[in-house]
């Protein structure tokens, strides 16, 4: 027996707001979270802008003495996990921890701790590194801290699949509940890479925007004049539950997860397959898994990075999967507002997709000014739109060719 899986809670730490309410309000308003970097002096870097998280105080979510034992990416994940638990009502509900698990991944992990540890090593020697260096840096520590905090004793893991990490986490959590191995799963991702070492490394890939004279216009998915992605930071965590379990406890249901697809391009370590082969296969796999026909989909929350190759490949893949129906689809990329949150991107975009299904409101793609002749679909570009939305897709495509598609359906029975 396959169990049905629903989304009952969301937690977001984002460049346009903390918490689901502020995040969703910012998306609907078309709020721009991109600015010149303030975390460090970017003047010597090729790219000089980022979508930084503002007004975040880890002490609001974590005991003060524990804050220094964690990297920033863990701070974000613990906060997003707490928000999701509160939003779902599980924070005050007596659930069985043996039937609840957590999957929270990261792409870079404790980059700030690694950078600081490297400096300490060379300035003061190895004895000065301290006992928490390793546990600040390990990618699985975000999931571990959330597991410990809430007594989640079921499945525990931490995927690392670059930009599709948190979508993988949600898909894997979906499968765990679907097959009956848990009633509750927290899933998502977290990254905090706006610091010199990883940021400089991404500059070296030549994949980030260099629109340094007009940073607020730098993230412009599907626009003809885009020149690369803008790095963001943050975390997204969702609560997934088995449908009957959620019903018994009277949970609010935002949406139902219907399908999950996961493919590899097997093409290049950074560039997508220009024909979009992996993207095509992953969308078809997710739709088949969901038992949903392409013509029943009304909206796609696109990966839409604002890079030349990714946007064109995604546009081409959507046209191949949906044929004539692709002209009727609404498409938007929230990376235009929040930048690319790396491993957290998929979960934050999944939360946005679920809210679109729940409310019928589609967030806009801001900074879209001139159409690209190779990106010809119906992008939401003139403010948020309201439609009667039953089924939506959330796409994630990562460095190394990892592709994930999640199918979300409005919950009606």
Quick: pLDDT tens for 326-336. 999 999 999 99
Active site residue 3: no
Quick: pLDDT tens for 129-174. 888 999 999 999 999 999 999 999 999 999 999 999 999 999 999 9
pLDDT in the model for residue 269: 73
Catalytic-labelled residue, pool 3, 75, 145, 303? 303
pLDDT in the model for residue 39: 96
pLDDT in the model for residue 108: 95
Mark the ranges of the chain whose per-residue pLDDT is less than 50.
Answer: none
* Length of the chain, in residues: 413
Catalytic-labelled residue, pool 340, 375, 405, 411? 340
pLDDT in the model for residue 1: 77
pLDDT in the model for residue 267: 84
Catalytic-labelled residue, pool 163, 203, 375, 405? 163
pLDDT in the model for residue 274: 79
Quick: pLDDT tens for 176-227. 999 999 999 999 999 999 999 999 999 999 999 999 999 999 999 999 999 9
pLDDT in the model for residue 265: 83
pLDDT in the model for residue 193: 96
CA distance 279 to 276: 5
Question: What are the structural domains of the chain?
Answer: 5-248 (3.40.47.10), 259-409 (3.40.47.10)
Active site residue 382: no
pLDDT in the model for residue 276: 83
CA distance 379 to 375: 9
């Amino acid at each position: 027996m396959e169990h049905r899986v629903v989304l009952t809670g969301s937690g977001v730490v984002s460049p346009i707001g903390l918490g689901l309410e502020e995040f969703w309000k910012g998306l609907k308003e078309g709020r721009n979270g991109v600015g010149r970097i303030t975390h460090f002096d970017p003047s010597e870097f090729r790219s000089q802008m980022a979508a930084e998280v503002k007004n975040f105080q880890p002490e609001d979510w974590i005991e003060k003495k524990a804050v220094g034992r964690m990297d920033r990416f863990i701070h974000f994940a613990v906060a997003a996990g707490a928000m999701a638990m509160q939003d779902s009502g599980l924070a005050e509900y007596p659930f069985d921890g043996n039937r609840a698990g957590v999957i929270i991944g990261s792409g870079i992990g404790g980059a700030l701790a690694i950078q600081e540890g490297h400096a300490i090593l060379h300035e003061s020697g190895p004895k000065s590194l301290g006992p928490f260096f390793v546990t600040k840096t390990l990618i699985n520590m975000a999931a571990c801290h959330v597991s410990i905090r809430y007594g989640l004793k079921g499945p525990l893991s931490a995927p690392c699949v670059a930009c599709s990490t948190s979508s993988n986490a949600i898909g894997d959590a979906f499968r765990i509940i679907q097959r009956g191995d848990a009633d509750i799963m927290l899933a998502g991702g977290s990254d905090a890479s706006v610091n010199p070492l990883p940021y400089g490394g991404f500059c070296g890939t030549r994949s980030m925007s260099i629109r340094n004279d007009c940073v607020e216009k730098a993230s412009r998915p599907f626009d003809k004049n885009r020149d690369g992605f803008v790095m963001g930071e943050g975390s997204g965590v969702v609560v997934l539950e088995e449908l009957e379990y959620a019903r018994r406890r009277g949970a609010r249901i935002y949406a139902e997860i219907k399908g999950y697809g996961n493919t590899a391009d097997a093409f290049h370590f950074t560039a997508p397959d220009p024909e979009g082969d992996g993207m095509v296969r992953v969308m078809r796999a997710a739709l088949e898994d969901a038992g949903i026909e392409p013509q029943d989909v009304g909206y796609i929350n696109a990966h839409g990075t604002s890079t030349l190759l990714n946007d064109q490949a995604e546009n081409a893949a959507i046209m191949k999967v949906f044929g004539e129906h692709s002209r009727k689809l609404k498409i938007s990329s929230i990376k235009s507002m929040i930048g690319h949150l790396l491993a957290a991107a998929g979960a934050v975009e999944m939360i946005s997709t679920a809210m679109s299904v729940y409310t019928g409101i589609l967030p806009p793609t801001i900074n879209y000014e001139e159409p690209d002749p190779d990106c010809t679909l119906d992008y939401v570009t003139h403010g948020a739109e309201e439609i009667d939305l039953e089924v939506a897709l959330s796409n994630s495509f990562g460095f190394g060719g990892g592709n994930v598609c999640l199918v979300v359906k409005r919950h009606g029975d």
